[in-house]
Structure 1
């Protein structure tokens, strides 16, 4: 069976490990998975290039080169939520960037790990006029990821499925990142898929967390400190456009023409999928 000696993680805070803090540092699902890739007693070389706040252009323009230099046999590419939270969101650009990232990693011999993610509006419980535009964007990102996963034969997780999104025990106080239990669940799910391909030779990570789960007080504290800072950072960039999108939602809803917005998003997605380079 093929053994993995080098595993590289690309992406944003989801892959950086936010929500799974150990010894004052983020650990995350990637590090947990790396432990289960051991071939005998030999540890897998693991590098986490993911950075909180990263968008598709950060992965394509910065993280990709660093990953290729490491010549990994296994590379994860999970990114896109931060793109949906920007006024500059462009599904065509995102598709072309991720296509190039996947093509170059796969061309260098790496098996790819990918995942579709839940939309942040739903996870945060935003009101429908605010949540629906974000949901459209995340559905488009997930559709691109699905297409690329098939093209490059990636190991893919459907993390937008109800089994993931409806289990609050998997998520941290911020509702956007997995907690330790969630990171362990992601690592375990990837481990099972990799084992089926003969790429995971070690024991799967334990599903049981080592740290106590976040309390209600933790959630309140996050909202009062880091959560407030997160909102402030996003307001200057996203909020004006999101309010405009919400106003459009309300206008179309009142006129009974909400399907127009869905059709427009589908048209943009179709154009993006058709424009992706062919292998």
Structure 2
């Protein structure tokens, strides 16, 4: 389900909830901050309706329960007519993953926001095993989670962008070196995907097109895997063991509605 063309062109209050992907990690700006797909989408929405106000409450490292506890009430207070809820990946990658509990948190956010009159954008997850083969054992968990997200997204007022079958979403070239976050190309892909799903003028389905074949050899791919494990996977595991979150001390980058005119390349 998606808004009709009139609704899509008259959104005036867009509020994004989520974790690091929605905050924009992996897509740096020139001032030491982060852009991200939500900022990029807000710029596209503002191009259609200059009266748009945009807030981004997402904070890196947050799990689904934290997103609901910390971000839902502030989001509702902003009275959005469009909201983004992307949550669950920080839960899914942990050994003690309770799928039903995570889905209950997501469903509660969908219910509260749609009941308040907002359209809600949500996503299925790309197969992270295709991005980092060492975590391929989690692929079945991702597919199962996606199947349930599709069910939740049947709620009236929820708009689903289904990334799981899109090969470009797992192409290494749209992911940052840490393989946990999208790079600028990936955040741009997501913004274009949401714009097309919402039916924004000028948006099209090119985001689904596979990227050209990579010239990387098998030996180069193996070296890249070893380098990623040493520089990113081992430190990530060490932080989890010590109970350290990348979001400790971090607050929302755009807690209030404000204009979003453009995004620097």
Smaller-chain TM-score bracket: 0.7 to 0.9
- In structure 2, the residue matched to 1:14 is 21
- State whether residues 114 and 157 of structure 2, in contact with CA within 8 Å, keep that contact through their aligned partners in structure 1: no
- TM superposition score normalised by structure 2: 0.73
Deviation at 1:44, TM superposition (A): 1.8
Long gaps (5+) in structure 2? 1-5, 208-219, 244-265
- Please give the alpha-carbon distance, in whole angstroms, between the structure 1 residues aligned to 2:227 and 2:12: 41
SS in 1 for 2:149: helix
- State whether residues 36 and 203 of structure 1, in contact with CA within 8 Å, keep that contact through their aligned partners in structure 2: no
Deviation at 1:71, TM superposition (A): 0.6
Which of the pair is proportionally richer in helix?
Answer: 1
Q: Does 1:145 align with 2:152?
A: no
- TM superposition score normalised by structure 1: 0.70
- In structure 1, the residue matched to 2:177 is 173
Q: Does 1:54 align with 2:62?
A: yes
- In structure 2, the residue matched to 1:230 is 236
Long gaps (5+) in structure 1? 208-215, 238-279
Structure of higher CA gyration radius: 1
- State whether residues 56 and 80 of structure 1, in contact with CA within 8 Å, keep that contact through their aligned partners in structure 2: yes
Count of aligned pairs: 220
- Please give the alpha-carbon distance, in whole angstroms, between the structure 2 residues aligned to 1:138 and 1:124: 13
Q: Superposition pairs for residues 230-269 of structure 1, below 5 Å?
A: 230-235=236-241
Indicate which of 178, 183, 187 corresponds to 2:187.
183
- Please give the alpha-carbon distance, in whole angstroms, between the structure 2 residues aligned to 1:8 and 1:107: 15
Higher relative contact order (CA 8 A, sep 6+): 2
Cα gap change, 1:219 to 1:5, in 2 (>3 Å): farther
- Please give the alpha-carbon distance, in whole angstroms, between the structure 1 residues aligned to 2:59 and 2:225: 23
Q: Which runs of 4+ in 1 moved over 4 A?
A: 201-204, 218-228
CA RMSD in angstroms, aligned pairs only: 2.9
